[in-house]
Amino acid sequence: MKRFIKINKFWLISVVFVLGIGLYYISPIHDRLATRVELLRTRIIYFFNPPSQAVFQPSGQTDLTIETVIATTRAEYLLTLTPKATSTPKAGPTLSPTITTTPLPASVILPDVIYVDQHNRWNYCGPANLTMALNFWGWKGNRDDVAKVVKPGSGDPNKNFIEQGLPDKNVMPYELVDFVNENTKYRALSRYGGDEALVKRLIAAGFPIIAEKGYYERDYNGKIDWLGHYLFTTGYDDARGGFIVQDSNLKPGKDLLSKYTDYLDGWRSFNYLFMVVYPADREAEVLDLLGTWADEKWALQHAFELAEKEAQSLSGNNQFFAWFNKGTSHVALQQYVDAAMAYDQAFRLYANWNTALANRPFRMLWYQTGPYFAYYYSARYQDVINLADTTLNDTISTPTLEESLLWRGRAYYQIGNTKNAVDDYRAALKVHVNWAPAVQALQDLGLQP
């Protein structure tokens, strides 16, 4: 009898287990639980392998072959590797510094802002903020309309749209800008090296901006960690000492005050990058308000000079961001060897990070890929591979960063490992279906995506 009861219990447990699995994959239930299961899985992985302890150590070694050295000089070799320009709005003319003769109001809060959150979605900061910027000008789309283009996911017809986009951790600024310029009647541009006065000038004229910034907050693992974030900035108030922002991640997140010092401190970690969305027929007005920033080359040089100054004047953990920005500015100016040396210093500072003050910003390469450009176009292919390995294997629960996969694939190809290169290109397309750089990389090898 006891044996019979034990057998019945065994079968009961088995039936419940199988039934549970079956129920989990029913679409409405799966949609509700998939994110929670992924969070639990991530917490377990991070518990045993803390991502903030992962440290990349650059070797500084180039992978130039003796044949290459004989055939060409280093400068000529690097020139052959210059990347193609990405899609960006045309820069305005070189301008002399703008002098504002009319003092700005002490407070401006733009009306008719439609707040959009990123809740009940995964990694929706970019789509939510861009939707707010477009809705401000009358666009009738929503955050899913943006996400279907900028983070389309795997393209698997057996998965719903939200689940497909789950692995894609980040949307790059150029993807948001391109969405506006290629899919709407509006225009958008981005620049490095913004400052407080410029943001106020744009807002006072009726143009809100999207800033990309970092901040420390309790993340989905329950720890206080550094995260990247877009922040729709729609006003300022000097009496209260801050910008008025719409934070898509917070509850509530509408019309919050972000103190100038906190705003600028977080903005630093993305080289003071900002985006402006505007009606096409008001482009001349926007360029005039931008002043010298209308000239993209001037903005890049300005950002570099600011980063160089902060690299010398800042101390502690903030110095890492300054050196990283210096590398990013060098990359934007196509000065790859100098960029690589700046990033080397940034990673040395990262290794010596004062963890008593805060955890290391281990998500940095999720959002910014400048080091890959710098090391690849300096022929430091093994450093590209090692950096991608650290990022994909040690800082994220699943290796689903299409940019890291792409650059590792490119580096594998350069050292003669075509199989691994192809595997990485195809893996990138499972995160971001039809992603042009990975498609092109496969087509260059005579392969179909």
* pLDDT tens for each residue of 340-381: 999 999 999 999 999 888 899 999 999 999 999 999 999 999
pLDDT given for residue 28 in this prediction:
53
- 218: enclosing H helix or E strand: strand 209-218
Q: What angle do CA 296, 300, 306 make, to 5 degrees?
A: 140
| Judgement on whether residues 233 and 364 belong to the same structural domain of the protein | no
pLDDT score of 82 more than 70: no
Q: Which residues pair with 187 in a beta bridge?
A: 278
pLDDT given for residue 326 in this prediction:
98
Amino acid letter for position 373 = F
Identify the band that residue 75 occupies on the pLDDT scale cut at 50, 70 and 90.
very low
CATH code at position 287: 3.90.70.10
Is residue 379 domain-resident? yes
CA distance from start to end of the chain: 61
Given 271, 294, 317, the domain boundary residue is 294
Torsion from C-alpha of 197, 201, 207, 212, nearest 10 degrees? -10
pLDDT given for residue 87 in this prediction:
38
Least confident of 5-9, 392-396, 402-406: 5-9
Identify the band that residue 71 occupies on the pLDDT scale cut at 50, 70 and 90.
very low
pLDDT score of 76 more than 80: no
CB 118 within 8 A of CB 125: yes
Mean pLDDT score of the chain: 86
8-state DSSP, 397: S
Distance CA 412, CA 441 (A): 12
Mean pLDDT of all residues in 401-430: 98
Is residue 173 domain-resident? yes
**pTM of the shown model:** 0.84
Distance CA 239, CA 237 (A): 5
Least confident of 107-121, 216-230, 317-331, 404-418: 216-230
Is residue 21 domain-resident? yes
Mean pLDDT of all residues in 100-110: 87
| Judgement on whether residues 314 and 359 belong to the same structural domain of the protein | yes
Given 294, 313, 335, the domain boundary residue is 294
pLDDT per position as a tens digit, 163-211? 778 888 899 999 999 999 999 999 999 999 999 999 999 999 999 999 9
93/399: higher pLDDT:
399
| Judgement on whether residues 35 and 56 belong to the same structural domain of the protein | no
pLDDT given for residue 188 in this prediction:
98
| Judgement on whether residues 60 and 191 belong to the same structural domain of the protein | no
pLDDT score of 439 more than 60: yes
Is residue 150 domain-resident? yes
pLDDT given for residue 413 in this prediction:
98
Given 26, 42, 58, the domain boundary residue is 42
What's the number of domains the chain is made of? 3
CB 381 within 8 A of CB 415: yes
Domain that holds residue 354: 49-83+300-444
| Judgement on whether residues 34 and 55 belong to the same structural domain of the protein | no
pLDDT given for residue 383 in this prediction:
98
| Judgement on whether residues 159 and 174 belong to the same structural domain of the protein | yes
pLDDT score of 91 more than 80: no
Is residue 88 domain-resident? no
**Following DSSP, what letter does each residue of 79-99 receive, concatenated?**
HHTPPPPP--PPP----PPP-
Identify the band that residue 34 occupies on the pLDDT scale cut at 50, 70 and 90.
low
Q: Which residues pair with 243 in a beta bridge?
A: 236, 258
| Judgement on whether residues 58 and 168 belong to the same structural domain of the protein | no
Task: For residue 325, give the nearest of 307, 298, 311 by alpha carbon.
Answer: 307
Other beta carbons within 10 angstroms of residue 374's beta carbon come to 27
| Judgement on whether residues 208 and 269 belong to the same structural domain of the protein | yes
pLDDT given for residue 8 in this prediction:
61
pLDDT given for residue 98 in this prediction:
47
pLDDT score of 84 more than 90: no
pLDDT score of 141 more than 80: yes
pLDDT given for residue 10 in this prediction:
58
Identify the band that residue 303 occupies on the pLDDT scale cut at 50, 70 and 90.
very high
CB 230 within 8 A of CB 246: no
Is residue 59 domain-resident? yes
pLDDT given for residue 432 in this prediction:
95
Mean pLDDT of all residues in 57-86: 52
CATH code at position 305: 1.25.40.10
| Judgement on whether residues 146 and 281 belong to the same structural domain of the protein | yes
190/3: higher pLDDT:
190
pLDDT given for residue 77 in this prediction:
36
Distance CA 3, CA 405 (A): 54
Is residue 102 domain-resident? no
pLDDT score of 1 more than 60: no
pLDDT score of 442 more than 50: yes
13-48 exposure pattern, b = at least 16 Cβ within 10 A, e = fewer: eeeeeeeeeeeeeeeeeeeeebbeebeeebeeebee
8-state DSSP, 137: T
| Judgement on whether residues 280 and 400 belong to the same structural domain of the protein | no
pLDDT given for residue 122 in this prediction:
85
| Judgement on whether residues 160 and 230 belong to the same structural domain of the protein | yes
Q: Which residues pair with 111 in a beta bridge?
A: none
Is residue 98 domain-resident? no
Mean pLDDT of all residues in 399-415: 97
pLDDT given for residue 32 in this prediction:
54
| Judgement on whether residues 76 and 149 belong to the same structural domain of the protein | no
Query: Percentage of residues in the chain with pLDDT exceeding 90?
Result: 69
